Amino acid sequence: MKLFITGIGTEIGKTVCSAILTQYFKADYWKPVQSGDLHYSDSMKIKDWVDHEVYCHPETHRFQLAASPHQSAAEEGKLIRVDDFQLPETSNSLMVEGAGGLMVPLSDTEFMIELIEKLKLPVALVVRNYLGCINHTLLSIMALKERGLLLECLILNGTFPIDTERVILNYIEEKTKIIRIPDIDLITKEKIKAIANNLKN
């Protein structure tokens, strides 16, 4: 299984969800662009949170500034191009984690969704409950459909009001898998493994 894990926005738990899926599939992990937090990058978090010897493929781009990739790159006098990226070769499953949402700019003219198109990967869309999440979720699903990208699974990260969940689930196709991830107060290897094991049930 190869998946591109994206979200309806920033700070909604993509890396935690990536860790759970990496654990579940015993997969490799790849973060194409890391903006900021180089002292404790998402790849480092995955290694800390997953209990198998996970191989994290090196980022194509790493920037100091914690900002949108196009801004982080510009700060260092660099330009990100979708053509910079090549899907890592591996015989294992591979979880690829994007930055922010689908329309996060890589440059002034190219966006995260175009990277997904280039890599030709099915998508796991992470959703978290907040005022506006229905709008952001349905717009994200519309954008994927418009580009002909497969929404392999919708990840409901945390607790949702019944009314919110109903509207979102009414909008997705029957073939899309629904994954529910409970809230995690303190992230540990043990908790990630326990949640991953429960996905099998």
- Which parts are annotated binding residues for ATP? 11-16, 42, 97-100
Q: Is 31 a catalytic residue?
A: yes
For residues 121 and 54, the answer to whether their CB atoms sit within 8 Å is no
Rounded Cα distance, 71 and 199, in Å: 37
Could you tell me how many residues make up the chain? 201
Q: In what order do the strands lie in the sheet with 177-181?
A: 56-57, 28-30, 94-101, 2-7, 123-128, 151-157, 177-181
Task: Given the residues 31, 45, 191, 193, select the one marked as catalytic.
Answer: 31
172 in helix, strand or coil? coil
Torsion sign (Cα): 154, 178, 160, 200? negative
Binding-site residues for Mg(2+):
15, 42, 97
Binding-site residues for substrate:
35
Amino acid at the residue 137: T
Own/partner pairs for 108-112, CB < 8 Å, 24+ apart? Answer: 108/70, 110/80, 110/81, 110/82, 112/6
Rounded Cα distance, 49 and 197, in Å: 14
Binding-site residues:
11-16, 35, 42, 97-100
Could you count the other beta carbons within 10 Å of the beta carbon of residue 35? 25
Catalytic residues, which ones? 31
